Homo-oligomer: A and B are copies of this chain.
Amino acid sequence: MRAMEIPIQHGARVIVTGGTFDKRYDAIKGELTFKETHLPAILEQARLTLPLSIDIRLLIDSLHMTDAHRQGVLDACRGSPEGAIVVIHGTDTMVQTAEVVGRARLEKTVVFTGAMVPYSVQGSDAPFNLGFALAMSLALPVGAYVAMNGRVFSWDNVMKDRQEGQFKERLQGSVTPRRGP
């Protein structure tokens, strides 16, 4: 029975930490800052029908993320009642935080995502990335992943190419055959 094969959909959790995804333009200061997360607006736009709990943990630039912050993200993942978790994170140190969570070998699927262009800027990749990451959190086996711009990477084989603004495999030839039917 094919209906047996799809993953449970009892819900997922999104943990917000900030990053470009959540930057807003401050008209008085004339710069991009953090005020509140765009997540509820994006979820309304997505017309989400999946039960989703939201944990707004941090709203910071990921360059300012300390070891204590990363430990906090790990604790939030560990404490999550949902096994499918998306972490919204700045792209600059997303790989480091994914490593902290990955090494903990939780029995959960934790997918890190973010945006190269803030949601508040026209033509942002935030809604696409959030949809992509949420699906991966529901469908992939337990583990920690980075999902950006249509690709997903295991936490132990990903890097950000700052010149091109893209995430890539760190090692060559590590991509493996898909799990069969």
Which of B4, B128, B141, B181 is within 8 Å of A131, CB to CB?
B128
A27 CB-CB contact with B under 8 Å: yes
In the complex where A27-B165, A107-B181, A141-B181 touch, is A152 in contact with B9 (Cβ < 8 A)? yes
Which of B32, B52, B135, B149 is within 8 Å of A47, CB to CB?
B149
A50 CB-CB contact with B under 8 Å: yes
A94 CB-CB contact with B under 8 Å: no
CB of A9 within 8 A of CB of B49, answer no
Residue of B nearest to A125 (CB): B47
Q: Bound complex: CA of A57 vs CA of B3, how far in Å?
A: 28
| Shortest distance from the beta carbon of A103 to any chain B beta carbon, whole Å | 10
A6 CB-CB contact with B under 8 Å: yes
CB of B134 within 8 A of CB of A132, answer yes
Which residues of A, 85-130, contact B by the 8 Å Cβ criterion? 92, 102, 107, 116-118, 120-125, 127-130
| Shortest distance from the beta carbon of A15 to any chain B beta carbon, whole Å | 16
| Shortest distance from the beta carbon of A123 to any chain B beta carbon, whole Å | 5
CB of A139 within 8 A of CB of B142, answer no
Which of B9, B125, B132 is within 8 Å of A175, CB to CB?
B9
